[in-house]
């Protein structure tokens, strides 16, 4: 389907993701005040995904990881800007136009990301951390920090220059693949983090994020980051030289810092519940 737009949105779907949540997600995209080409990647669903109004449906020849499915959709993009959406989230009104205007105003930027809301009533999501907004002004330091811990979203309400996305690409896995993309992007240009909300994140037990948060999963993700650093020609070679330090910091973040912050958050939540 030919749509006069410079923005494409790619959504991989399979199984339960190809249901009512997808219909609601698509409705939120169609209601944007900017024309958009929507590409739904049917990741070998059984039965195959049917025709969707106003949407280009492309089907993978076999079930791929979520990262590979996103790359499959990226290969079908012909617009200068691309956004990777999750089939169970809602886009807030005006988000696409806002993000495109931000990227157009910053030629050195590779990505512009709006903030995230979740819950009922919607509240600001705790990620990205507020301190990371200022850190984006120091590009190299920000990119190195992202090697240690994922500092910004590359999916959801994050508009990316297609050329940079193609140079970077997602990792071939079902989790951590977006962090891999983010590290490559952060070394290629400026990342714009905006406080304006653009995504309503709808958490449910079967979502990938909910099932890939163990320390073991985080260690695997960190290993994938180090692999990307070694093999991405767009990342300066001096970063490879400091990989041992990055690995140590990754392990500390996964095994020490994260459990402590989770514990502190549970204490604060418990205190609020008794107030």
82 neighbors 164 (Cβ within 8 angstroms):
no
Please write the tens of the pLDDT for every residue from 83-94: 999 999 999 999
| Phi, psi of 33, deg, nearest 5 | -90, 30
Cβ atoms of 203 and 210 within 8 Å: the answer is yes
Q: Model pTM?
A: 0.91
Look at 95-99, 101-105, 161-165, 252-256 and tell me which has the smallest mean pLDDT: 252-256
65 located within any domain: yes
The CATH number of whichever domain residue 239 belongs to comes to: 3.90.550.10
**pLDDT tens column, 105-117:** 999 999 999 999 9
- Residue 156 in any domain: the answer is yes
In this structure, is residue 52 part of a structural domain? yes
271 pLDDT above the threshold of 50: no
In a domain, 1, yes or no: no
- The pLDDT tens digits of the residues spanning 171-227 come to 999 999 999 999 999 999 999 999 999 999 987 655 555 555 677 899 999 999 999
- Which among 154, 79, 144, 73 has a CA at the least distance from the CA of 110? 154
Number of domain units in the chain? 1
Is residue 121 in a domain? yes
Q: Distances from the Cα of 198 to the Cαs of 97, 109, 130, 178, 191, in angstroms?
A: 11, 18, 16, 18, 16
First to last CA, the chain: 55
Return the DSSP state at 15. Answer: G
Cβ neighbours for 31, distance < 8 A, ≥ 6 positions apart: 93
Examine residue 208 and state whether it is found in any structural domain, yes or no.
yes
Write out the residue range of the structural domain in which residue 69 sits.
7-274
Residue 188 resides in a domain: yes
Residue 2 lies in a domain: no
Q: Which of 36, 50, 44, 38 is nearest to 69 (CA)?
A: 44
Decide if 42 contacts 60 (C-beta within 8 A).
yes
């Amino acid at each position: 389907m030919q749509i006069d737009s410079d923005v494409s949105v790619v959504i991989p779907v399979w199984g339960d993701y190809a249901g009512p949540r997808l219909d609601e997600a698509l409705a939120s995209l169609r209601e944007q005040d900017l024309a958009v080409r929507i590409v739904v990647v049917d990741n070998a669903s059984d039965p195959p995904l049917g025709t969707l109004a106003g949407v280009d449906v492309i089907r993978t020849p076999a079930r791929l990881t979520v990262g590979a499915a996103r790359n499959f959709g990226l290969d079908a993009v012909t617009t200068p800007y691309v956004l990777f959406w999750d089939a169970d989230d809602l886009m807030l009104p005006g988000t696409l136009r806002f993000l495109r205007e931000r990227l157009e105003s910053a030629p050195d930027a590779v990505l512009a990301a709006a903030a995230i809301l979740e819950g009922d009533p919607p509240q600001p999501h705790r990620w990205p951390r507020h301190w990371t907004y200022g850190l984006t002004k120091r590009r190299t330091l920000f990119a190195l920090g992202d090697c240690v811990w994922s500092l910004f979203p590359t999916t959801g309400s994050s508009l990316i220059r297609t050329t940079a996305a193609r140079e970077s690409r997602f990792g071939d896995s079902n989790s951590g693949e977006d962090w891999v993309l983010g590290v490559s992007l952060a070394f290629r240009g400026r990342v714009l983090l905006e406080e304006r909300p653009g995504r309503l994140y709808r958490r449910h037990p079967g979502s990938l994020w909910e099932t890939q948060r163990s320390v073991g999963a985080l260690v695997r993700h960190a290993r994938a980051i180090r692999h990307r650093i070694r093999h991405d020609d767009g990342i300066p070679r001096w970063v490879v030289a400091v990989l041992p330090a990055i690995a140590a910091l990754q392990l500390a973040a996964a095994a020490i810092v994260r459990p402590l912050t989770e514990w502190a958050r549970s204490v604060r939540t418990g205190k609020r519940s008794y107030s």
